[in-house]
């Protein structure tokens, strides 16, 4: 039986790999299983990607490209709910991303999200009335980790919220919760800094 054309086969293999990596982890997924899920031969998987590690790198690169597209849309001021649009776009890859993050993978995606986030924060810093305490890269790393934690903990978050956090209703509720938390912090910035200064003085 003839194989599908290369471009279509490559995308099918990548998507099948992301599905099986998400279900079984990188170590548990096999080239044979990925080939069967994609409807191609194991040889074609080897032809396109060479190794399972290279295939995982292609999966990460696909998500990085997706994040870049969403970032460009946000910079362009495209209409609509950017958070909901991002959830929809990343939705098919949630299991892959969650498993990869828990297993210590997805480093290229995390690093690129930090880099893009630092650029956004650096732009905001130019008009801040007070100087930030830490560099944009540090704040971007923390905010990226907080954002991706929803992906890893979505089942627990959904149970506690009483709604699927990845549903349209969940998106709105999550956004409202974040707005409330950030606009009404439990400590003022001055009080928090004074507390930290006191801890550092007594070390």
Tens-level pLDDT at each residue, the chain (203 residues) = 444 455 689 999 999 999 999 999 999 999 999 999 999 999 999 999 999 999 999 999 999 998 888 888 777 765 444 555 566 667 788 889 999 988 888 899 899 999 999 999 999 999 999 889 899 999 999 999 998 898 889 999 999 999 998 888 998 899 899 889 888 877 777 777 777 777 777 77
Please report, rounded to a whole number, the percentage of residues in the chain having pLDDT higher than 90.
50
- pLDDT of 86: 64
- pLDDT of 35: 96
d(CA 166, CA 199): 39
Contacts of 154 (CB under 8 A, 6+ apart): 94, 98, 165, 166
- pLDDT of 138: 96
Angle in degrees, 0-180, between the axes of helices 136-152 and 107-125, rounded to the nearest 10: 130
- pLDDT of 187: 73
Q: Tell me which DSSP letter residue 105 carries.
A: -
- pLDDT of 171: 83
- pLDDT of 84: 55
Contacts of 13 (CB under 8 A, 6+ apart): 34, 35, 38, 40, 44, 45, 48, 49, 55
What does pTM read for this prediction? 0.78
User: Do 135 and 121 contact (CB within 8 A), yes or no?
Assistant: no
Instruction: List the structure tokens of 164.
Output: 């699927």
């Amino acid at each position: 039986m003839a194989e599908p054309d290369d471009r279509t086969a490559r995308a099918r293999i990548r998507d099948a790999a992301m599905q099986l990596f998400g279900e079984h982890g990188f170590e548990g997924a096999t080239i044979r299983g990925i080939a069967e899920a994609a409807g191609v031969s194991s040889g074609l998987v080897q032809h396109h990607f060479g190794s399972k590690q290279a295939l995982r790198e292609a999966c990460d690169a696909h998500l990085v490209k997706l994040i870049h597209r969403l970032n460009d849309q946000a910079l362009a001021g495209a209409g609509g709910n950017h958070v909901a649009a991002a959830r929809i776009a990343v939705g098919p890859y949630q299991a892959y991303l969650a498993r990869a993050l828990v297993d210590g993978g997805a480093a290229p995606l995390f690093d690129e999200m930090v880099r893009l986030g630092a650029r956004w924060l650096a732009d905001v810093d130019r008009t801040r009335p007070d100087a930030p305490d830490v560099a944009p890269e540090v704040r971007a790393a923390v905010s990226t980790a907080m954002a991706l934690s929803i992906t890893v903990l979505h089942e627990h978050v959904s149970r506690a919220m009483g709604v699927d956090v990845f549903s349209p209703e969940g998106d709105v509720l999550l956004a409202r919760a974040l707005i409330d938390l950030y606009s009404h912090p439990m400590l003022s910035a001055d009080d928090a800094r004074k507390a930290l200064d006191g801890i550092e003085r007594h070390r």
